[in-house]
Amino acid sequence: MTAKGNILIVEDEAKMRRILELSLGEDGFTMLSAEDAESGLKLLQNGSVDLVVTDLKLPGMNGLEFLQAVKRFNAALPVVVMTAFGTVETAVEAMKAGASDYVLKPFSLDEMRMVIHKELDVRRLREENRSLREALQQRYQHPNLVARSPKMQKVLATVERVAATNSTVLLGGESGVGKDLIARAIHETSRRASGPFIKINSTAIPENLLESELFGYEKGAFTGATTSKPGKFELADKGTLFLDEIGDVPPATQVKLLRVLQEREFERLGGTRTLKVDVRLIAATNRDLREALEQGTFREDLYYRLNVVPVDIPPLREHKEDIPELVNLFLARSSGESAKEITTVSPEAMRMLMDYYWPGNVRELQNIVERAFALAKGPVLGASDIHFDPPRARPQNAGTSLLPEGMTLEQWEDEMIREAVRRANGNKSQAARMLGLSRNALRYRLSKMGIADEGEGT
Ligand SMILES: Nc1ncnc2c1ncn2[C@@H]1O[C@H](COP(=O)(O)OP(=O)(O)OP(=O)(O)O)[C@@H](O)[C@H]1O
Ligand SMILES: [Mg+2]
């Protein structure tokens, strides 16, 4: 029979002790017993006890003093006291001193059983309660992460779900959507949080050095290897390894990665010793890996090993509800780092930020808010403080659209209009001429874009 819990009995009467030991033992409890308080305390300190049953009248240290000692040792431990009929006052005193319940002698075994089960249930519920509370607090422990929109909430829910596992995670999403941030959040929410978080970016390292960075090398493995060095996999032992830009890992290295993922073991370059590590892998890519699969530049078997839990982070234009809070976060950060403080954004400025198509996602928003913070003269961030980056050309290999990534025709037009107004230094007649529009048509477009007509002259 599996143990239901450990019970410590402290009772000087041998017969009573024996009866409790036997009957509760038969019920499936693991029994410890002592004939006085002193030896009871020793047993308590040596082992794990879930509940104490003690007589109040004991030789040497009395039951009440024993109870107080138990409570000092562990205030959450339930203590049931036994007391003789006619000494109810002592029972009351014991309850005041922290006893959970009492039974009056003589009692039936059923009565004792009931009290014990009740107390153990209460204890279990309290513990469940505490761990639930802890879990709830953890849910909000990403102070640097804004994720109020349903789409980002979904991402966070997955983060929480995978954090509890050791599964490999594949983070996808355009540049600047927050892949680094989410990778860190997974690590920090996981049981590995106290272990290392090691990041390696395959595009930032020359191809011929990538393997030695990942797996380490032994002295003499190649020219210049004058000492041996551990790789990122070894450094990340008991922690998380974040492999950024996985889509750019060269084929030879892909094979080696596959082996680590399958067997959890590898050798250093030039080494013969097989090393085993306990590492959770998080990989990220801002390219569509399935496209790379079709082109044959990425191994399918590696893809399936990595794609155990896919987490796709949406582009900012798909969760614009988060923009106001992101702006506040970045403003608070900038304010914290400088003598100036800005806590308000004018409605026009906010409208501009909400209407923009954010090809560079949260990173671009952060840059633009930082720039606006630096430019703003008063305590309010205004429309004139906001300057978007000129539209980027779309990479040649990226499909058939004429427009920059993620941009609609209307957004492109808005961008042209802003650029014209900028080049004309705000002179709307001049801007209208550049665009081949009448001044009224330009006014109309500007008002639609939420840019107020300041009514300046022709
Ligand atoms: N949800 C968010 N809340 C707060 N800050 C965010 C959020 N998402 C991204 N950021 C911030 O935006 C910047 C870019 O994020 P990050 O570096 O994680 O993007 P990335 O997806 O890894 O980009 P890349 O593909 O270029 O590596 C960082 O400064 C990050 O702190
Ligand atoms: Mg990144």
Q: Is 176 near ligand 1, meaning CB less than 6 Å away?
A: yes
Question: Which region among 40-44, 231-235, 393-397 has the lowest average model confidence (pLDDT)?
Answer: 393-397
* Residue owning the nearest CA to atom 12 of ligand 1: 363
Instruction: Please give the residue that has the higher pLDDT: either 284 or 287.
Output: 284
User: Is residue 143 pLDDT above 90, yes or no?
Assistant: no
Q: For residue 383, report the distance from its CA to the centre of ligand 1, in Å.
A: 24
The two tokens of residue 241 are 């390894």
Check residue 234 and give its pLDDT.
95
Q: What residues form DSSP beta bridges with 32?
A: 8
Q: Whose CA is nearest to atom 18 of ligand 1?
A: 178
Cβ(179) – ligand 1 distance below 6 Å: yes
CA of 191 relative to ligand 2 center, distance in Å: 23
Q: Which pLDDT does position 458 carry in this prediction?
A: 42
The pocket of ion ligand 2, defined by CB under 5 A, consists of: 179-180
pLDDT value at residue 269: 93
Query: In this structure, which ligand is nearest to the CA of 367?
Result: 1
Q: What is the number of the ligand closest to the CA of 362?
A: 1
* Per-residue pLDDT at 315 exceeds 50: yes
Q: How far is the CA of 453 from the centre of ligand 2 (A)?
A: 40
CA distances 293 to 288, 297, 304, 397, Å, are 9, 6, 11, 15
Ligand 2 centroid–CA 370 distance in Å is: 19
Going by pLDDT thresholds of 50, 70 and 90, the confidence category of residue 397 is very low
Q: Write the pLDDT tens digit of every residue in 233-280.
A: 999 999 999 999 999 999 999 999 999 999 989 999 999 999 999 999
Pick left, alpha or beta for residue 403 (phi over 0 → left; psi -120 to 50 → alpha; otherwise beta).
Answer: beta
Our mutation pick for probing the ligand 1 site, out of 362, 367, 369, counting the most ligand atoms within 8 A of Cβ, is 362
282 with 241: CB under 8 angstroms? yes
Is the predicted pLDDT of residue 287 greater than 90, yes or no? no
* pLDDT (average), residues 117-121: 91
The pLDDT of residue 164 is above 80: yes
- CATH number of the structural domain 150-314: 3.40.50.300
Alpha-carbon span 410 to 188, nearest angstrom: 41
Provide the pLDDT for residue 355: 87
Extract the tokens encoding 446: 């500007």
- Residue 173 CA: nearest ligand 1 atom is 21
Tokens of 257: 């990665």
CATH code of the region 317-448: 1.10.8.60
Residue 428: its pLDDT value, please?
Answer: 87
6-135 matches 150-314 in fold: yes
Which neighbouring-strand residues pair with 336? none
Q: Is the pLDDT of residue 357 over 70?
A: yes
pLDDT of residue 136: 58
Tens digits of residue pLDDT in 320-348: 999 999 999 999 999 988 889 998 999 99
* pLDDT confidence of residue 134: 64
Cβ of 155 less than 6 Å from ligand 1: no
Does ligand 1 have an atom closer than 6 angstroms to the CB of 227?
no
Contact criterion met (CB below 8 Å) for 147 and 156: yes
Mean pLDDT score, 157-169:
91
Band of pLDDT at residue 2, cut at 50, 70 and 90: very low
Q: Which residues, in sequence order, are bridge partners of residue 31?
A: 7
**60-113: per-residue pLDDT in tens?**
899 999 999 999 988 889 999 998 867 777 888 899 889 999 998 889 999 999
Ligand nearest to the CA of 285: 1
Arithmetic mean of pLDDT over the chain: 88
pLDDT at 317 over 50: yes
Q: Is residue 323 lining ligand 1, measured as CB closer than 6 Å?
A: no
Domain ranges within the chain, ordered by starting residue: 6-135, 150-314, 317-448
**Mean pLDDT to the nearest integer, 18-22:** 94
pLDDT number for residue 125? 85
The pLDDT of residue 1: 40
Asked whether the predicted pLDDT for residue 416 surpasses 90, the reply is: no
Of 124, 123, 130, 134, which is closest to residue 191 (Cα–Cα)? Answer: 134
Going from the Cα of 173 to the center of ligand 1, the distance in angstroms, rounded, reads: 11
Mutating to test ligand 1, I would choose from 174, 179, 181 the residue with most ligand atoms within 8 A of its C-beta, which is 181
Residue 144 Cα: closest atom of ligand 1:
4
Q: How far is CA 112 from CA 18, 31, 53, 66, 68, in A?
A: 14, 14, 10, 20, 22
Contact 246, 282 (CB under 8 A): no
> What confidence score (pLDDT) does residue 400 get?
60
| CATH class of the domain comprising 6-135 | alpha beta
Q: Can you give the pLDDT at residue 457?
A: 42
Looking at per-residue confidence, does 2 or 423 come out higher? 423
